[in-house]
Amino acid sequence: MFINPLFIKNTIQKMARFISSRRGMQSIILATLCIFIISLFFIGTSIFSMAPDLASKDISPKTEKERATEQKQKKLAQLFSEQNLNSNLTPYINQKMNSPQKRKLLENAFSQGNLHIFEFNSSAHASNPMQALATLIREIDSTQTNLLDIAQAINTSIMQTLKSLSIGSEDLIFAESAIRLYNQSEPYPFIVLQLSKANSERPYFPSKREKAKFISILLKNIKNHDDAEDKSENKRHNTSLLAQKVKIIDEGTFLYITFDNIISHVIRLAPRKEKMQSLTPLKNEHFYFTLIIDDVGENFPLARKFMNLPFPVILSIWPHSTHATSIATIAHEKGLPIFLHQPMEPLPDAGHTPNMGKGGLETSMSKEMMMQTLQQNFLSVPHSRGINNHMGSKFTMDEAAVNTFLLALKNLMPHALILDSLTHNDSVLYSHAKNLGFLTGQRNYFIDNKGDNILNLLNKAYTFAKKTKHVYVIGHARQETLKALLTWKQYLNTDIVFALPSY
């Protein structure tokens, strides 16, 4: 093939003129930059491919304390796995064990199904779980066993009472067990026993006399335990005078046992029944009515009165409130749902930012900080089925903060119910929760703000529900609200279905 020399000469001259031009220089610089970026990409890929090998090498020697902590963590994970206990202990472990590996260990255990953090183990136990709970408590913190010793003494007295009344294993199941924390620091066991006759839903003790006899013998056995401790050469002062501080409260279908207002045991005398519907298909003219009572946790007697209303309500309890655990336990046994009343950052009011209370979420928090806060909060409010916001006018309209919160909640309680209290009209909590697949709802009525006619608003909510098939109503733990609810008669209508958030 013949190439004309003149053509080659002309081509070279044109290229030289182009290169010497401004446009030519720009093209050369751009080409050089592209080559440089491509080279960096291949170099980076090579380095990242080596990362797992580098990470697997322990390049810094561990101290004796770090090795001991790691061994303790492995033991805890093994105990969780072997006993399959619902312990509610993740926040406590986080607090006690500070090592880089702890979060990975807990996340692995949770993902493998070994940690049931925020809901009770639904399977019943044939054998007494006290020993397993005690072993775990001592494994975690052997320095704080005062409440453990007391709970064990009560547990022993219960077993002695059942034996003396010839109540055998065929009539007894251990329905629930957990480890709870007193003052967010001292662990103690919590056990629910259920007495029931085969194929019968009748109360275990058909007469008040039989129930009174059971309680009397139990108190006597607790006193005898005190006497035995007094005579023992190895007397332990922490369980002496036990009978003077123990109370057995009769709630009709169940008993609960307290020591210094800490509930250690529940004894069910009839099967527990849920009082509020969840996802029940509507028939004919029926409609859903969701009524939540906020700000529960500081007034114990008032909370008990709300529990005993002639229709079911959701009790939304402040985290770390004085009576949170006791109220949640008793309400749960009565078949009422519990929500965590989660504080969220509010907008300033007249230049002053209101105090949202303990365990609050702020818009500036990371996902990890929100998860840690939520863990602590759920730990203080056992049996929580869902969550609704306390305050939160700033937080709930911040899309980034709401998304971070929902992702944190999804990790902890993927089936949590969410109610947007709608403390600001621009809230995105409901819409974003719905998009992420949560069962959720949005408040339609506050019934007891200052100056409200509570009965009038309840009736308006009832009318609204008949038109829309579901209404979300929020009241507060106040005497005037209780009085109005006791007067309200619309609940007697057969078309009303008291229900949980279900959209």
pLDDT of residue 277: 77
pLDDT of residue 393: 96
Contact 475, 488 (CB under 8 A): no
Token representation of residue 103: 């979060």
Per-residue 3-state assignment (H helix, E strand, C coil) for 123-166:
CCECCCCHHHHHHHHHHHCCCCCHHHHHHHHHHHHHHHHHHHCC
What's at 127, amino acid-wise?
S
Q: Where are the beta strands (DSSP E) in 408-448?
A: 417-420, 439-442, 445-446
Which DSSP helix (H) or strand (E) runs through 81?
helix 64-83
Give residue for tokens 């509610």.
88
The alpha carbon torsion through 17, 18, 24, 28 (nearest 10 deg) reads: -90
pLDDT of residue 227: 61
Torsion angles phi and psi, residue 320, rounded to 5: 65, 20
All structural domains of the chain with their residue ranges: 120-268, 287-347+354-498
Largest CA distance in the chain: 123
Q: How far is residue 214's CA from residue 162's CA, in Å, rounded to a whole number? A: 8
pLDDT of residue 297: 97
Across the chain, what does the average pLDDT equal? 81
Token representation of residue 238: 């922490």
pLDDT of residue 184: 74
Return the closest-CA partner of residue 377 out of 394, 401, 352, 360.
360
Q: In residues, how long is the chain? A: 503
- Angle at which helix 64-83 crosses helix 102-111, to 10 degrees, equals 10
For the chain, the first-to-last Cα distance in angstroms comes to 79
> What would the mean pLDDT of 390-411 be, rounded to a whole number?
97
Whether 482 shows a pLDDT value over 70: the answer reads yes
Q: How far is residue 487's CA from residue 455's CA, in Å, rounded to a whole number? A: 8
pLDDT interval class at 263 (50, 70, 90):
very high
pLDDT of residue 366: 97
Contact 264, 191 (CB under 8 A): yes
pLDDT of residue 18: 60
> What would the mean pLDDT of 233-259 be, rounded to a whole number?
79
pLDDT interval class at 309 (50, 70, 90):
very high
pLDDT interval class at 160 (50, 70, 90):
very high
Contact 422, 442 (CB under 8 A): yes
Least confident interval from 27-41, 208-222, 279-293, 344-358: 27-41
pLDDT of residue 51: 45
pLDDT interval class at 239 (50, 70, 90):
low
Options 3.90.1150.10, 3.20.20.370, 3.40.50.10890, 1.25.40.10; which CATH number does 287-347+354-498 get? 3.20.20.370
pLDDT of residue 61: 61
Q: How far is residue 133's CA from residue 139's CA, in Å, rounded to a whole number? A: 10
Token representation of residue 35: 């080559």
Residues 6 or more apart whose CB falls under 8 angstroms from that of 475 comprise: 291, 292, 293, 294, 446, 447, 448, 454, 481, 485
